[in-house]
Amino acid sequence: METLIGRHWHRLSAEQVVELLDSDARIGLTAFDVKHRLKHFGPNEVSAGRRQHPILKFLAQFHQPLVYILLAAGLITALLQEWVDSGVIMAVVLVNAVVGFLQESKAEAAIESLRQIVTTESTVLRDGQVLRVRSQEIVPGDIVRLQSGDKVPADMRLIKVRDMQIDESGLTGESVPVQKSVGNLSEKTILAERMNMAYAGSLVTYGQGEGVVVATGNKTETGRIAHLISEVVELQTPLTQRIAKFSHMLLYVIIALAAVTFLIGVIQDNPILDMFMAAVALAVGTIPEGLPAAVTITLAIGVRRMARRRAIIRKLPAVETLGSTTIICSDKTGTLTENQMTVQEIRAGAKRFTVSGSGYDPQGDVLEAGQVAEQGKFPPLYQCLVAGMVCNDSRLVSKDGRWAVEGDPTEGALIVSGRKSGLSESDLAQRLPRQDLLPFESDRQYMATLHADGDQNVIYAKGAVEVLLPKCDRMLAPSGDQEPFDAQELLAEAEAMAAKGLRVLAFAMKAVGKETSTIDHESVSSGMVFLGFQAMIDPPRKEAIEAVKSCHKAGIQIKMITGDHALTASAIAKKLGLKSSAADPESVPFVITGQELADFSTEAVIDKAKDTPVFARVAPEQKLRLVDALQASGHVVAMTGDGVNDAPALKQANIGIAMGISGTDVAKEAADMVLTDDNFASIRAAVEEGRGIFDNLTKFIVWTLPTNLGEGLVILAAIVINVALPILPVQILWINMTTAILLGLSLAFEPKESGIMDRPPRPPQAPILTRELLIRIGIVGTVMLIGAFGLFEWELMTGATVEQARTVAVNVFVIVEMFYLYKCRSLTQSVFKIGFFSNPWAIGGTAMMMALQLAYTYVPIMNRFFQSAPIDLYAWLRVFAVGIAAYIIVGIEKWLRRSRP
């Protein structure tokens, strides 16, 4: 039995499947069979994989270079008995570890969501009796009965169907329910087109059916996706990669400088303990203690900003990752489109009409040549719209200010088109009361209804063009009379509509006598009068079109990856403005299907994925394969999705984006970000915020590193020259912690600069700091070295005490940082160009920092604690002169860079 699981069940006949599974379609399994199979295959639930022990997962959060630096800083400050500073640093490390620990549980949460999908009751046939059992108790070989509203409990080969439709959008991405049948299919038939299969977790929306269970639990398609999720290795984001590389470099520099300092001092015959403390002072000075707090707070501010723009961040680094994104892979249905079928064209009485409006909102008009068409004056149009509304079992309702359809989306679109022309369901129900119904059947491809109409009855029918047209021998003319028609001409028109990605339905009617109270298929087999076509599509969102254009301008490629048909996907993609990134777009296909993708080698997928904008009819593992291929080309990939089938790719992508309204719990748990409005335009807004966040992080790093460099150089210079240290370790900690909080963190609130979406994405391999910024850091660090060391020596030569001289040196660092802060509010422009008062946090922070420095200098308790001393006005003037000099020098450097061609 075990060897049977995983067969291509769709290619076998229903009888063969039942026989292979040793079951009986008439009586089902016996109680003995069920007990034995339940023991052999296990319960019908998706089991969680082997999980890492929580303690190990927590300890793994400390295995990062930046954390090593922080732990070193905490240990060093503890050795210096600076318990407050040590406690603050250790608290930062602990909070970061706890947050990371909680976020790493999202894969397990996603699998738990998958387990919940199949916890329902089902109707089964066992020992010849119809029973209701928990879905966990279903086993391979069980005969399961399904009806409208049921959730499919396991993967099944259908053996009987009656007008059955199943919503498989969560698994395949198909935008409309799939009509099911029982016939055999080719072995190569892709998942989305296996009409004779029903898959666990999908929903029966119409009709009835019966099937034999072929897979349960982990062996189902849903279970296979759970396995894919658990196997996906979560990638580092561009930010974490850059911070890790930067931290490694910083770690080596700190160790090397501390070692050099110690060795120089020992060579000069200074006491070993003193030199050790000097090395410690240098290490403390060069560790940017405020960096992790700045990163966390800046990202948290980004989370708040994005929430205002309808994007909820589940994982902090995702904020910045959006700013690095080079490719956005988006699902079609509901994200780029309205997820609401909309009639766009009508053909009736040899005339073509267009329909304005979008989605299920009945606001709009039926137009002819741009003018509102009066259906009452044009019988073919009127009857075509009436047929769409009365030969219909769905309802259009308003829920919480949103229009929705209860029933089939296609029928909902027909109601909306009728309403746009002024028709009303209630009026038609009174004037044309229904007498009988021929429901839609998959093998007949049409639906018909019988209605009373005054002194006669009338049959209205809708269905596939190629099925309904042969049943018609006349068509309704503009005059209201009946006339012959050219079937080939009508078929050509329908094909032209279909070529644009539209779903085309034909409509017909037939007058019958009052004595006809019931209808059958013979009643509509001939003598019908053709009324026209209605062609519909799930239209692109207007805001998505603008968002795609904006992303292209920002250098971001957009790719559509959908389970829908290639023709429909291509039509929507062209309306959205999607295009190939190849130098010669004609040299690459516009659309590649999942079936074609399956035949490609890994190298071919990588090559095709780069330039092809649309992928249609793709399976879950193919979405994962495409994301892998794009990442292999060096791209930072954002992936959107809402279904169970999207979860593995969402987790593999650099940033996974789930839909908040239509998204499944599985998709949301696997994603890094959730859109509350399911709108692609919100992704564009989030990308803009992400770029702004990275800019602000870069500004903080460019602002804080000169201080660490200057402090390290001052200590090193003092050791080399063999003089007293201009600043002590406790004073270094005062500078680093207070300025980082009051001055540096204000940069996290800096508004986005103009033109942020007019530049290309940052290359994924690019470092945080460019050569130009490193030069600027070196310049400012050198100014701090010269100013602090020079004024320290000046004060000593003019008779000041060591404490006063050190107070001057500390104030040099703080005042230079205050002036330099305003140069870092924009890395290229003048602060006056971006708006001096546009960031009140910077101004408030500067005022508070100045107040603290006055307290540091003049309050006795601060003097005792930090070994500072009061200084006179002339000393302050010299300190401010250094700050102004730094401001002018950086201003000149920025001006020179802007002036370069």
As given in the structure block, the two tokens for residue 492 are 């050509």
Type of residue at 370: G
Q: Which residues touch 814 (CB under 8 Å, ≥6 apart)?
A: 735, 738, 739, 849, 853
Q: Which residues touch 15 (CB under 8 Å, ≥6 apart)?
A: 25
As given in the structure block, the two tokens for residue 547 are 């968002």
> What span, in angstroms and rounded, lies between the C-alpha atoms of 893 and 820?
13
Q: At what angle do helices 221-231 and 620-632 cross, to 10 degrees?
A: 20
> What span, in angstroms and rounded, lies between the C-alpha atoms of 687 and 324?
8
Of 755, 780, 626, the residue nearest 702 (C-alpha):
780
430 C-beta neighbours (distance < 10 Å), count: 9
**Integer distance in angstroms from the first to the last C-alpha of the chain?**
74
Map residue 281 onto helix, strand or coil: helix
CA 850 to chain centre: 44
Helix (H) or strand (E) holding 512: strand 503-512
As given in the structure block, the two tokens for residue 373 are 């068409």
> What span, in angstroms and rounded, lies between the C-alpha atoms of 274 and 283?
14
> What span, in angstroms and rounded, lies between the C-alpha atoms of 357 and 535?
14
CB-CB contact of 301 with 748 (8 Å): yes
**Which of 331, 628, 642, 678 does the annotation list as catalytic?**
331
487 C-beta neighbours (distance < 10 Å), count: 14
Of 609, 572, 568, the residue nearest 592 (C-alpha):
609
DSSP string, 586-627: GGS-SEEEHHHHHTS-HHHHHHHHHH--EEES--HHHHHHHH
331 flagged as catalytic: yes
As given in the structure block, the two tokens for residue 712 are 């390290």
CB-CB contact of 336 with 578 (8 Å): no
What single DSSP character describes residue 337? B
Q: Which residue has the tokens 């006669």?
A: 456
> What span, in angstroms and rounded, lies between the C-alpha atoms of 886 and 891?
8
CA 514 to chain centre: 58
Q: Which residue has the tokens 């009509």?
A: 179
CB-CB contact of 565 with 332 (8 Å): no
Map residue 509 onto helix, strand or coil: strand
Query: DSSP strand E in 645-747: where?
Result: 655-659, 673-675
Partner residues linked to 162 by β-bridges: 208
Type of residue at 209: G
> What span, in angstroms and rounded, lies between the C-alpha atoms of 201 and 215?
13
Query: DSSP strand E in 358-485: where?
Result: 366-368, 371-372, 395-399, 402-406, 434-438, 446-453, 456-463, 472-476, 482-483
Map residue 787 onto helix, strand or coil: helix
- Active-site residues: which are they? 331
